[in-house]
């Protein structure tokens, strides 16, 4: 069978939804693990960010970013189609809808996947704008560490989460992530055909545990920065006194981008 | 029938719809003198006798065997396909599972692929077309094959038989928030995937059945699992996982 046709079938959509969903879970686990370097101080965290940004001369990050965009879009598109098809399949709903209970796995999480997903997508766009492109200026300057110029991303993150507004928003969205994965993380295995009656109970337990761990982890970082903001700010200040330059982090990003573009033109 | 001490009474809110084009509505009826041992359908028979005696149009509903083996009956009772008792068809449900005085809402199986013919009767021939697309095995007729020429392990035959208990009632579609028929189709794919007789047509079967499933307008499966909870034969959603696995392999291989 033509693979493009297969991908457009009711099963193909779920295979894509499950695979992309699971790869996104993998990304989120990696992202959270890396973010815990915030607790190790500015030097560790900024060096880690610099390492990611310059992996394979910057190509690593671009490849990862393109991959993530493809993952997010194909995941959102397949999820949207599943959601959309149900309205055509039952145009007149029950006068008295009910829940079967018993063996059913239907939950508030499973019936709101599209809405938690749309929130996550909107959040991701904002999150990238806020921390990668720095559209809110936190007044942080670039640093020069051992002759290498880099952003004080640590300072940007700390200054952001010192504000109750941003900590609040991130906490809500991260609870949403756990909520999306409460159904999503086991469902993905079922969608890819990687489940049977023997494994499914274990898969479900591990998936529920994982969704809680991820939500708790992602909530813990901004809240601890908020609660101990004096400590985190002092760390950042100490670091700036040692390595700070006068260039804004924003300038650096634009220079990196224009540098890449002129390199491309030259090639 | 005289009033007995344990007779029950109910207010029934029943979906009445004159024909496929009619918009339909819920209509209230009262029944009393219902014996707890009566099945749900016998309770409706009592109502219909009363309506007929009054010269009114009886409520149309489907049934045949009335012993849970044919898959003809099927009502959505208070929002649950086949009613509140798990693993039971509507004909097997007894009135003792309700309390006298209850208000019971009765609706047809709702899905655009199951158009309403009248009242509570729906057209489920879409299932027949899914089965025609691949729910069979082909073999040569003629002289009888040698006994034991095709060996099937006990485990495989039980596993296959569990899926084959599907009576095609359509409750999975009725219960699914997406009106998907993946549990029905999964059961039909699974019963042949597990035994040697099903192997020659295995790839083509799953591809054709899914193509027909989608063409018939059933929805996609979001793994809510409502289907398994209402299935009178308790078909496991592992059949859906197997179907997806087979579909992936088949579309890569053919
Ligand atoms: C980009 C925004 C997102 C949207 C619009 C979205 C939407 C959806 C929808 C509608 C479903 C349900 C599909 C169905 O009912 O069959 C779903 C499932 C899922 N989502 Fe998301 N989601 C998004 C982001 C994420 C993220 C960030 C992750 C992981 C961290 C994720 C992981 C999953 C998983 C594992 C599933 C289960 C897949 C399956 O059962 O086949 N999603 N998503
Ligand atoms: S009438 Fe045959 S299963 Fe109910």
| B119-141 pLDDT per residue, tens | 999 999 999 999 999 999 998 88
- Residue A95 inside a domain? The answer is no
For residue A121, the domain's CATH number is 1.20.1300
- Residue A133 inside a domain? The answer is yes
C-alpha–C-alpha distance, residues A4 and B207, integer Å = 13
> Predicted ipTM?
0.93
Domain count, chain A: 1
- Residue A92 inside a domain? The answer is no
SS3 of B230, please? helix
Please judge whether A10 and B220 are an interchain contact, meaning their C-beta atoms are less than 8 angstroms apart: yes
Residue-wise pLDDT for A187-241, tens only, equals 999 999 999 999 999 999 999 999 999 999 999 999 999 999 999 999 999 999 9
- Residue A139 inside a domain? The answer is yes
Candidate from A2-6, A9-13, A18-22, A75-79 with smallest mean pLDDT: A2-6
CA-CA-CA-CA dihedral for A242, A247, A253, A258, to nearest 10: -130
pLDDT above 70 covers what percent of chain A?
92
Give the model's confidence band at B182: pLDDT under 50 very low, under 70 low, under 90 confident, else very high. very high
* Between B119 and A142, the higher pLDDT residue: B119
Residues in chain A: 267
pLDDT higher than threshold 60 for residue B148: yes
CATH of B124-140+149-253, one of 1.10.1060.10, 1.20.1740.10, 1.10.357.10, 3.90.1150.10: 1.10.1060.10
Helix (H) or strand (E) holding A47: helix A42-53
Candidate from A2-6, A85-89, B246-250 with smallest mean pLDDT: A2-6
Mean pLDDT (whole number) for B87-103: 98
Please judge whether B251 and A192 are an interchain contact, meaning their C-beta atoms are less than 8 angstroms apart: no
Chain B nearest C-alpha distance from A112 (Å): 11
Please judge whether B242 and A193 are an interchain contact, meaning their C-beta atoms are less than 8 angstroms apart: yes
pLDDT of residue A142: 85
Q: Which residues contact A74 (CB under 8 A, 6 or more apart)?
A: A16, A20
Residue-wise pLDDT for A29-60, tens only, equals 999 999 999 999 999 999 999 999 999 999 99
pLDDT higher than threshold 80 for residue A145: yes
The mean predicted confidence, pLDDT, of chain A is: 92
The angle, 0 to 180 degrees and rounded to 10, between the axes of the packed helices B182-193 and B154-164 is 160
Supply A139's token pair: 């007044």
**∠ CA A255-A256-A259, rounded to 5°:** 80
| Best mutation target, B77, B93, B185, B226, to test chain A (most A CBs within 10 A) | B226
- Residue A88 inside a domain? The answer is no
Give the model's confidence band at A86: pLDDT under 50 very low, under 70 low, under 90 confident, else very high. very high
pLDDT higher than threshold 70 for residue B254: yes
β-partners of residue A145 are A148
Mean pLDDT (whole number) for B145-171: 94
C-alpha–C-alpha distance, residues A22 and A181, integer Å = 10
Query: Is residue A191 a contact partner of residue A13, using CB atoms and an 8 Å limit?
Result: no
Residue-wise pLDDT for B16-40, tens only, equals 999 999 999 999 999 999 999 999 9
Q: Which residues contact A60 (CB under 8 A, 6 or more apart)?
A: A52, A54
The mean predicted confidence, pLDDT, of chain B is: 96
C-alpha–C-alpha distance, residues A54 and A148, integer Å = 12
C-alpha–C-alpha distance, residues A175 and A182, integer Å = 10
SS3 of B28, please? strand
pLDDT of residue A140: 77
Question: Which residue, A183, A239, A142, is CA-closest to A25?
Answer: A183
User: Closest ligand 1 atom to the C-alpha of A79?
Assistant: 10
C-alpha–C-alpha distance, residues A146 and A149, integer Å = 8
pLDDT above 90 covers what percent of chain A?
82
Count of alpha carbons within 13 angstroms of residue A172, beta-carbon side? 8
Supply A7's token pair: 């991908």
Please judge whether B220 and A81 are an interchain contact, meaning their C-beta atoms are less than 8 angstroms apart: yes
Query: Is residue B189 a contact partner of residue B245, using CB atoms and an 8 Å limit?
Result: no
- Residue A68 inside a domain? The answer is yes
Q: Output the CA B158–ligand 2 centroid distance in Å.
A: 23
pLDDT of residue A89: 98
DSSP 8-class letter at B27: E
Give the model's confidence band at A250: pLDDT under 50 very low, under 70 low, under 90 confident, else very high. low
Range of the domain at A169: 14-82+108-266
pLDDT of residue A266: 46
Candidate from A64-68, A146-150, A151-155 with smallest mean pLDDT: A146-150
Return the number of CB contacts < 8 Å for A and B: 156
C-alpha–C-alpha distance, residues A75 and A22, integer Å = 10
- Residue A113 near ligand 1, beta carbon < 6 Å: yes
- Residue A4 inside a domain? The answer is no
In chain B, domain spans: 8-116, 124-140+149-253
Query: Is residue B160 a contact partner of residue B194, using CB atoms and an 8 Å limit?
Result: yes
Q: Would you identify the CATH topology of the domain B8-116?
A: Ubiquitin-like (UB roll) (3.10.20)
């Amino acid at each position: 069978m033509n693979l493009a046709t297969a991908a457009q079938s009711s099963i193909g959509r779920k295979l894509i939804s499950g695979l992309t969903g699971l790869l996104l879970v993998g990304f989120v686990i990696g992202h959270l693990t890396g973010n815990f370097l915030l607790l190790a101080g500015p030097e560790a965290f900024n060096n880690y960010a610099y390492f990611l940004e310059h992996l394979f001369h910057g190509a690593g990050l671009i490849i990862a970013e393109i991959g993530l965009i493809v993952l997010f879009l194909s995941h959102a598109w397949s999820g949207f189609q599943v959601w959309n098809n149900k309205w055509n399949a039952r145009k007149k709903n029950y006068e008295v809808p009910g829940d079967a209970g018993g063996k059913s796995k239907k939950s508030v999480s499973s019936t709101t996947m599209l809405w938690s997903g749309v929130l996550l997508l909107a959040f991701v766009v904002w999150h990238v704008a806020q921390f990668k492109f720095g559209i809110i200026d936190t007044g942080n300057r670039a640093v020069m560490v051992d002759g290498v110029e880099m952003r004080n991303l640590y300072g940007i993150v700390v200054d952001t989460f010192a504000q109750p507004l941003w900590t609040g928003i991130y906490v809500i969205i991260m609870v949403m992530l756990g909520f999306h994965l409460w159904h999503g993380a086991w469902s993905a295995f079922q969608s890819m055909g990687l489940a049977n009656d023997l494994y499914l109970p274990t898969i479900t337990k591990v998936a529920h545990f994982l969704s809680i761990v991820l939500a708790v982890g992602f909530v813990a970082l901004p809240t601890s920065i908020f609660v101990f903001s004096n400590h985190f700010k002092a760390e950042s200040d100490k670091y700036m006194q040692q390595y700070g330059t006068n260039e804004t982090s924003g300038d650096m990003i634009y220079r990196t981008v224009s540098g890449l573009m002129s390199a491309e033109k030259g090639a | 029938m005289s009033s007995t001490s344990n007779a029950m009474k109910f207010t029934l809110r029943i979906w009445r719809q004159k024909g496929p084009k009619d918009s339909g509505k819920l209509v209230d009826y009262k029944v009393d003198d219902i014996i707890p041992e009566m099945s749900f359908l016998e309770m409706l028979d009592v109502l219909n006798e009363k309506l007929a005696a009054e010269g009114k149009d009886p409520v149309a509903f489907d049934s045949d065997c009335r012993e849970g083996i044919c898959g003809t009956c099927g009502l959505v009772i208070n929002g649950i396909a086949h009613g509140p008792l798990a693993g039971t068809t509507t004909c097997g449900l007894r009135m003792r599972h309700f309390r006298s005085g209850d208000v019971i809402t009765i609706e047809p199986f709702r899905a655009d692929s199951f158009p309403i013919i009248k009242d509570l009767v729906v057209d489920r021939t879409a299932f027949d077309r899914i089965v025609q697309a691949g729910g069979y095995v082909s073999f040569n007729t003629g002289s009888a094959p040698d006994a034991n020429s095709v060996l099937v392990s006990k485990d495989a035959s039980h596993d296959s038989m569990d899926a084959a208990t599907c009576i095609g009632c359509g409750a999975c579609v009725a219960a699914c928030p997406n009106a998907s028929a993946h549990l029905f189709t999964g059961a039909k794919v699974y019963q042949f995937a597990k035994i040697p007789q099903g192997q020659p047509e295995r790839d083509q079967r799953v591809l054709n059945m899914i193509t027909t499933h989608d063409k018939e307008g059933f929805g996609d499966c979001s793994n809510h699992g409502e289907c398994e909870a209402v299935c009178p034969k308790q078909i496991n959603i592992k059949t859906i996982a197997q179907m997806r696995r087979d579909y992936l392999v088949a579309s890569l291989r053919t």
